[in-house]
Amino acid sequence: MPASQQGTSGAGPVPPLLRGVDRAAFAAGLTRRLRDRGVAVDLSAAGTFARALAAHPPATRTELYWTARIALVRRQPDLAAFDALFAALFAGAGLGTDPPARRRPLPPTGALAAVPAPTAPAQPGTGLPWATLPAVVGSAERTAPDGPAVPQRLPTAAAGWADVPFEALDDEQVALLDDWLLAGLPRLPTRRTRRLAIRRRGNRAALRETMARSRRTGWEPIELVRTRPVRRPRRLLLLCDVSRSMQAEATAYLHLGRAFVRAADAEVFAFATGLTRLTPVLRRRSAADAMAQATAAVGDRFGGTRIATNLRALLDSRHGDLLRGAIVLIGSDGWDSCPATELAAQLARVRRRAYRLLWINPRAAVPGFQPRVASMAAALPYCDRMLPGDTFTALRRVIDAVADCDVPVRRPVTTTA
């Protein structure tokens, strides 16, 4: 067997371990030898083993051992025969005596758990069968300190805090969810431009390019060149309320804005009694630095709220054209010290320029929520959607709602609770 010959050529990791080896032949040969020793290997196990080798080529004998063991062995009584065969093929590669496994200590954080030694007696009532997940024991109960270490399957820390309301999270937990938000960004909406590009499946015939290519065939237009309009990412603009009533949600909304800035080159403004542009500081790679500079840039943070005044300031400023054709998100609970009629007038201006207007309201997550605040009731007719934003899971749904804006159908105002 080629793999066995290569595996016994030396001690220690030999990356890549199976270079030049026919993976299918290696899997079939190992399967046949296991069956000769009485190990019950079904028909699909060899295929699973070959696909596992292709998906993640083992760099060490330990990885090869676990790949083969998980793919080929289905019963605990077959472990001894499998270990004996593996040790015979790869001398000194048994995990119980593997030198790299002995040198690597288990981390004290509990991220890795020990697995009972193959010779240890079976413990009834330990939960799941060993073939799906090994029995996990605490650090004080490890019966085989020299045993192999495998990752313990646990949910990520970010996913555990995703459904907790913002007011129950501290700054460290909120920072953990920053990367979680970035990872959840789907394909964001695009817009059609006036530029055309040559595409094989274009819906328009490009006469000039077709005639240019016809010179090669004596001016016979054999190949028809097609073009399609070029699409670019649609601009996103987030207005984040950082007043006192939004103290618990402001930082999380800024993390959402940072995700949009880094992934879609969005524009982010914070407003309370005044308007502050935060796009440059949110472009920083470090989330902690971005939040610290954003906090320092907003001088009126946790003050009053003047939504209508700040919208008028944005529309009349040099950044007012950023709203044209953009998806505008306003993160606020709707408490405004400006008159409701003024807010409706400014939102009407925003609505005429923007492509979509989404309102993120943390109070909308409460069952039976009704927009009875005068300013919120005045703003609702100009919003395409009003979404709850009380947890990071809700912010993930906001990202999905932004992705749905690519659908050209204009829907009525809805509240998703």
Residue 338 lies in a domain: yes
Asked if residue 369 and residue 257 are part of one domain, the reply reads: yes
Asked if residue 266 and residue 199 are part of one domain, the reply reads: no
- For 35-60, give the DSSP string: HHTT----HHHHHHHHHHHHHS--SS
Residue 118 lies in a domain: no
Q: Are 395 and 358 in contact (CB under 8 A)?
A: no
- For 122-150, give the DSSP string: P-TT-SS-TTTSPPP--GGG-S-TTS-EE
Element (H, E) at 276: strand 275-277
Asked if residue 368 and residue 255 are part of one domain, the reply reads: yes
Asked if residue 374 and residue 261 are part of one domain, the reply reads: yes
Structure tokens at 205: 């015939």
Last residue of a domain, one of 86, 105, 132: 86
Asked if residue 241 and residue 228 are part of one domain, the reply reads: no
Tokens 């440059």, residue located: 280
Asked if residue 392 and residue 243 are part of one domain, the reply reads: yes
Task: Give helix then strand counts, H and E, for the chain.
Answer: 16, 12
Domain span at residue 254? 236-404
Last residue of a domain, one of 233, 261, 294: 233
Sheet holding 226-233: strands in order across?
190-198, 226-233, 204-205
Residue 169 lies in a domain: no
Q: Are 359 and 386 in contact (CB under 8 A)?
A: yes
Residue 112 lies in a domain: no
What's the first-to-final CA gap in the chain, in angstroms?
A: 61
Asked if residue 313 and residue 201 are part of one domain, the reply reads: no
Residue 62 Cα distances to 100, 103, 264, angstroms: 9, 13, 42
Asked if residue 306 and residue 207 are part of one domain, the reply reads: no
Question: pTM for this one?
Answer: 0.58
Last residue of a domain, one of 209, 233, 257: 233
Residue 67 lies in a domain: yes
Asked if residue 283 and residue 206 are part of one domain, the reply reads: no
Residue 195 Cα distances to 226, 321, 324, 337, 353, angstroms: 13, 21, 18, 45, 22
Q: How would you write the pLDDT of the chain (417 residues) with one tens digit per residue?
A: 444 444 444 444 444 677 777 888 888 888 888 888 888 887 788 888 888 888 888 888 888 888 888 888 888 788 888 888 888 887 654 444 444 444 455 455 444 444 444 444 444 444 333 344 444 444 444 444 555 555 555 556 666 777 788 878 877 777 777 777 777 777 788 888 889 999 888 888 888 888 888 888 888 878 889 999 998 889 999 999 999 888 888 888 998 899 889 888 899 999 999 999 999 999 988 888 888 899 889 888 788 889 999 999 999 999 999 999 999 999 998 888 899 999 999 999 999 999 999 999 998 888 888 888 888 899 999 999 999 988 888 888 898 888 888 765 545 555 554
pLDDT at 9: 41
CATH code, domain carrying 340: 3.40.50.410
Residue 393 lies in a domain: yes
Asked if residue 263 and residue 205 are part of one domain, the reply reads: no
Asked if residue 200 and residue 79 are part of one domain, the reply reads: no
The domain total for the chain is 3
Asked if residue 276 and residue 379 are part of one domain, the reply reads: yes
CA-closest candidate to residue 203, choices 234, 176, 226, 237? 226
